[in-house]
Amino acid sequence: MNSPRSSSDPRQVYVIGAGVVGLSAAVQLLRRGLSVTVIEESEPGSGASYGNSGMLGANTAIPTYRPGMIWKVPGWLADPLGPLTVKARYLPRALPWLWQYLKAGTRAQVFHASQALRTLHRSTLEGWRDNIGGSAMDRLTRRDGQIYLWEGLNEPPTRSLEDEVRSHLGIESEILGVDQIRQYFPGISRDISHGLFIPGNGHTVDPKGLVNALSERFQQEGGVLVRERVVKLWRDDRGRWSLMTNLNNHHGDLVILAAGAWSARLLSTLDVKIPLESERGYHVMLRNPSIRLNMPILNKTRYFGLNSMSEGLRVSGTVEIAGLEAPPTLKRAKILVTQAKRLFPALTFDEEVYWMGHRPSTPDGLPVIGPIPGQPNLFGCFGHGHSGLTAAPASGQLLAELICGEKPTIDPEPFAASRFLR
């Protein structure tokens, strides 16, 4: 149990979830003089924040849906190496979310979401530096840009909607010929026909190291981290929040829900329904690989990424809709090995280590950042889908500004929870 508080105590905030998002918000709140405790059921950064591709996409700002995507879905589902799979047993539960997601694929919505994501992404490298400090940043991240690759395209990739979005947002890119691609990546498959260089993007060589640095910084600056699982939250008669965990009860003035893909489940105990689905993603870490990439690759034809990290070559991607409970499908992770060998036919390595995690995804591709309507002093910071590593610093800052009554540095409107609760 917490000790009694005097009225001069700073406001006590509880943050549920120590992924990149929860910890980024926690650090920002702490620096504004609030007393912050993060409750995490496992180790910090053991959710999606552990296993991502490590891309810090300062100059990437586009949701995953596109106009006409609905017509591609049957082909993807039928292709054993395809980027998307839906577990048949889970389909009835996922249908409302999937339907909303596919409906979002309009040109207008793509532009709206991209504009909003741009505000969260563009300052990611500066935000991470501010949050974890210069020496951790220099050790754990690089700012070398990123390369998108395509196979067998007839048209150059700069005639796509993505290119329109980039030019609308003022994002630079540089089209690459096959010879240039080969210079960057000797030994790359001859199937690769087009490339695009995105300057200004960064990456981490150690996603877990990045979360650890953030968690250490938070605790060094006076934050408290407890290892418990929140099972219920409610407001008491005096308007304070109570949190029941597997081990304890906590009482605070403010609660931030930053439990990644598990956030909607906790909210539903308050009868608040926000559409949030786990887009299960996989990676395989290839230890001691025969190649080292000088910058990360995104294969846009087959939807997977490669990033050389401290522990080896991480190949990641795929979307599996199967909920939070189903065990990992090893086949999905093995597909990534096939894809990597197809891209670099001479690739060898010593060992492969598989991982599956839950991207916390809303159907409109934008996170929830801000107050939860009808629940005074309860705030959400979740739903960052495919780009939470990138968006975490600005999300945490925006949330802290909203809580502390500061003028927000970015427009909070696109991220309001109320868009789902009308």
Ligand X SMILES: Cc1cc2nc3c(=O)[nH]c(=O)nc-3n(C[C@H](O)[C@H](O)[C@H](O)COP(=O)(O)OP(=O)(O)OC[C@H]3O[C@@H](n4cnc5c(N)ncnc54)[C@H](O)[C@@H]3O)c2cc1C
Q: Please give the residue ranges that form the binding site for ligand X (CB under 6 A).
A: 16-22, 39-42, 46-49, 51-55, 57, 229-230, 258-260, 262, 266, 281, 283, 316, 357, 359-360, 382, 384-390
Q: Which is nearer to ligand X, 143 or 177 (CB)?
A: 143
Q: Which is nearer to ligand X, 166 or 283 (CB)?
A: 283
Cα–Cα dist 246/314, whole Å: 35
Q: Which is nearer to ligand X, 116 or 259 (CB)?
A: 259
Q: Which is nearer to ligand X, 118 or 359 (CB)?
A: 359
Q: Which is nearer to ligand X, 27 or 422 (CB)?
A: 27
Q: Which is nearer to ligand X, 101 or 159 (CB)?
A: 101
Q: Which is nearer to ligand X, 22 or 312 (CB)?
A: 22
Name the minimum Å distance from CB 6 to ligand X. 28
Cα–Cα dist 200/59, whole Å: 6
3-state secondary structure of 420: helix
Cα–Cα dist 122/390, whole Å: 9
Question: Phi, psi at residue 142, to the nearest 5°?
Answer: -135, 155
Cα–Cα dist 227/246, whole Å: 10
Cα–Cα dist 50/301, whole Å: 25
Count other Cβ atoms within 10 Å, centred on residue 114: 23
Name the minimum Å distance from CB 45 to ligand X. 6
Name the minimum Å distance from CB 307 to ligand X. 7
The number of angstroms, rounded, from the C-alpha of 166 to the middle of its chain's C-alpha atoms is 20
Q: Which is nearer to ligand X, 181 or 255 (CB)?
A: 255
Name the minimum Å distance from CB 44 to ligand X. 7
- Can you give the length of the chain in residues? 422
- DSSP summary character for residue 188: -
Contact yes or no for 312/287 (Cβ under 8 A) = yes
Question: Phi, psi at residue 357, to the nearest 5°?
Answer: -150, 175
Name the minimum Å distance from CB 179 to ligand X. 28
Q: Which is nearer to ligand X, 4 or 14 (CB)?
A: 14
Contact yes or no for 25/395 (Cβ under 8 A) = yes
Name the minimum Å distance from CB 209 to ligand X. 14
150: which residues sit within 8 A by CB, 6+ positions away?
A: 157, 192, 193, 194, 195, 299, 300, 301
Name the minimum Å distance from CB 46 to ligand X. 5
- For helices 124-132 and 20-30, what crossing angle results, to 10°? 60
Cα–Cα dist 197/158, whole Å: 11
Name the minimum Å distance from CB 43 to ligand X. 8
Q: How many CA atoms lie within 13 A of 69 on its CB side?
A: 19
Cα–Cα dist 307/298, whole Å: 9
Name the minimum Å distance from CB 204 to ligand X. 9
